[in-house]
Chains A and B, each alone.
Chain A
Amino acid sequence: MKWLAVLAVWAAKLIMFLIKLTGLGRASSLPGKVALRVCPSLLGHLGKQTECLVVTGTNGKTTTANMLAGILEHAGYTVLANREGANLLTGVATAFARSSTLGARINSDYAVLEIDEAVFPVVIRWIKPRLVVVTNFFRDQLDRYGELDITVSKVVEALNKLQHTVLVLNADDPLVARIARESDHAARFYGVFPDARLAGKASYSREAKFCSFCGKMLSYRVYFYSQLGDYKCTQCGFGRPQPDTEAAAVQSDVFATLARVRAGNDTRQMALSVGGLHNLYNALAAVTAAQLLGVKLETAMDSLQCYRPATGRMEIFAYGRKQVVLTLVKNPAGFNQALAGMLAGGDNSKDVLMVINDNAADGRDISWLWDVDFEVMAGCFGQFTRFVCSGQRAEDMALRLKYAGVPVSLITVEKDYRRAIASVLQGEGTVANIMTTYTALWPVEKILSRWAERAGQHAPYGMSHVS
């Protein structure tokens, strides 16, 4: 069937060329879609020619995969990756087709693939990863995937169908750590030292408070956010495993994170130019995976120092003297992190834009907005000059803010993206925070990048929004 794979690659490359020529779209999934139509087993054919490394889980996939790809390239390897968050089957096929030669050969040392947790079971029918990173499990777009329990079970089931693979697991997430017990694969853990200083205050959207094995309530010694922390089941003994890679002495604000990272006998200082505990987890996942592949801790730290966030992952722009932060929000855990980041930025005056869509890729059900702790802003409303709500569900966003106690005089609905963005850029605040769901991210970013300057233009990763 080799000729079919060649034909599929040609078809994909032709479409990429046409998309580039016409400037329509980003060519991150259509070429793969067509290629798979031509040759359904394309991923099997291309995937076995390189070492596949998979990143899955709910949040942090794009960042973790980009960090891992960066570290491997820094260490001198060639890497192919689906870098734009196109993490369904078609996005993976596009990434492979892009890197393939016209003879359907892959010459990269590694393929770093971020894969949607719900699609993971399908992808591993074709791709046999050498290593699988699982970041975390949060509620995400429930209307597409059913409930969280089912998602986790499906990932475990799929992992158990693989013959040889190594798992890189988040020790601090009980829903991820449980996988080590339920599969025969070797596992390495990463985590953050349970320092009470880092404990989060919003506790509502915790996911699994119950032991996955015996059903008893988990007890937390230190609790970070959602269900992450230092947990233990007092009945059956299931608890946070001792991490192989652990960060301590953590300092984090909106723009940077410092930590001391211990991996085996080696300890190094880590400096990230992205903020938030969630990004620290992403970096730890990437470091742990890279170490398993023989990359030195020092090399990994060097590479992470140059990491710049991908579009919408707390990306910073400048509009005159005003700082603009663009953040993708797609579930309560991520939105809570974005709010915490915004409030951690200090009491400078803020203009806020929230853009909520309900297309299939955003999740048709926007009920999750009510699981976000907007109430953490209570008592800080003096810092805000306006809350502009946009997108297909702008009215629902406005409603949520009203019931979170935001003064109605600060809330406006502006469906037009350009006018919505203009109003927060021109607002009197010193910072503008823009939070958008998935399908609004690209149109918003496109308008924003025309009016505002992107900080760190030299960034090596995540900036390639045109393919």
Chain B
Amino acid sequence: MHLTVCHMYPDLLNLYGDRGNVIAFVQRCRWRGIRVTVREVNLGGPVSFTGCDFLFIGGGSDREQQLIASELAARLQELQAAMEDGLVVLAICGGYQLLGHYYLTLEGRKIKGLGLLDFYTTAGARRLIGNVAVEAELNGSKSVLVGFENHGGRTFLGAVEPLGKVLRGYGNNGTDGLEGARYKNVYCSYLHGPLLPKNPALTDHLISLALQRKGMDGKLADLDDTIERQAHEAMVQRLLA
């Protein structure tokens, strides 16, 4: 078994420890004997989505995000085809916003997104910051995801599912109680923390999906998750108890 992880622009989109998502995905594969190759895609470098099993895209500061939007626009069709084909994607914060139609700044300027998923984002005056708990359905069972959010944008979903319902925190926009977005195997979220290490259920779900797309059954061997559970539980207790 072998999976290829594509880490998009790690030297630009690397806010708030988001690389921890790649670390968690890779380690949980390796601990199960699944071999993993991580390909870093850098600005101006070659990009290919064929042969990629898991694509991760994190958040960056505004300047860096714009650089990437214009570079990725050239690869749009290839990326869209891969997503329609079931490519497993995790997009966090700025990377999440990038997949939508546009980002409307406070000054009323519209920054074009990739338009891959049906949602848009508008800038808010106040940043939405704090610990978050979200109820999400993964593989038919309900699961609580925890993380930390820090975003100025308010995202509003069109014809895509949310990742989950906000139990504590703001989520997409602080008003409709929804957090993140999902479409086929594309998962989007505002949660840093980073998201995957503390939510092994989601990590394993993404690994399963990637294996299934390769024609395998996606059943994963159990791991000793004592430390993961402790970290997850500590935040659940703090937010929901």
A residues with a Cβ closer than 8 A to B are 142-143, 146-149, 204, 206, 209-210, 215, 217, 364-371, 393, 395-396, 398-400, 402-405, 408, 411, 413
Nearest neighbor of B59 in chain A, beta-carbon distance: A147
Contacts A/B (CB < 8 Å), 15 sampled = A143-B148, A147-B61, A149-B63, A204-B19, A210-B64, A365-B16, A367-B17, A367-B148, A367-B192, A370-B18, A371-B17, A396-B198, A403-B24, A408-B226, A411-B227
Which chain B residue lies CB-closest to A150? B61
Residues of B within 8 A of A (CB): 11, 14-20, 23-24, 27, 43, 61-64, 67, 127, 129-131, 148, 150, 192-194, 197-198, 224, 226-228, 230-231, 233-234
Indicate whether A399 sits within 8 Å of B148 (C-beta atoms), given known contacts A215-B63, A217-B43, A369-B17: no
Q: Which residue of chain B has the shortest Cβ distance to A369 in the bound complex?
A: B17
Give the docked Cα–Cα distance between A101 and B21 (Å).
56
Q: A147-B61, A364-B130, A367-B18 are in contact. List 15 more A-B contacts (CB 8 A).
A: A142-B150, A143-B150, A146-B127, A147-B62, A215-B63, A364-B129, A365-B129, A365-B148, A365-B192, A366-B148, A368-B17, A369-B17, A370-B18, A396-B234, A405-B27
Q: Which of A204, A370, A400, A404 gathers most chain B CB within 10 Å? A: A370
- Shortest Cβ distance from A408 into B: residue: B227
CB distance from A66 to the nearest CB of B (A): 31
A149 pairs with B61, CB closer than 8 A: yes
Task: List the A residue with the shortest CB-CB distance to B129.
Answer: A143
Name the CB-closest residue of B to A368.
B17
Knowing A149-B61, A206-B11, A413-B230, the reply to whether A370 touches B20 (Cβ < 8 A) is: yes
Closest to B148 in A: A365
> How distant is the Cα of A21 from the Cα of B202 in the complex, in angstroms?
54
| Contact status A142-B130, CB under 8 Å | no
Most A-side CB within 10 Å, residue of B18, B197, B198, B233: B197
Distance in Å: Cβ of B208 to nearest Cβ of chain A = 19
Instruction: Give the docked Cα–Cα distance between A420 and B117 (Å).
Output: 48
Give the nearest-CB partner of A394 in chain B.
B234
Which of A204, A366, A396, A404 has the most chain B CB atoms inside 10 A of its CB? A396
B15/A142 in contact, CB under 8 A: yes
Contact A370 B197 (CB under 8 A): yes
Which residues of chain B come closer than 8 Å to A399, judged between CB atoms?
A: 197-198, 227-228, 230-231
Expressed in whole angstroms, the Cα–Cα distance for A398 and B15 within the complex equals 21
Provide the residues of chain B in CB contact with A210, threshold 8 Å: 63-64
CB pair A408 B194 closer than 8 Å: no
Given contacts A215-B63, A365-B150, A399-B231, contact A370 B43 (CB under 8 A): no
The residue of chain B having its C-beta at the shortest distance from the C-beta of A207 within the complex is B14
Q: With a CB–CB cut-off of 8 A, which chain A residues contact B64?
A: 210
Cβ–Cβ contact A367 & B130, under 8 A: no
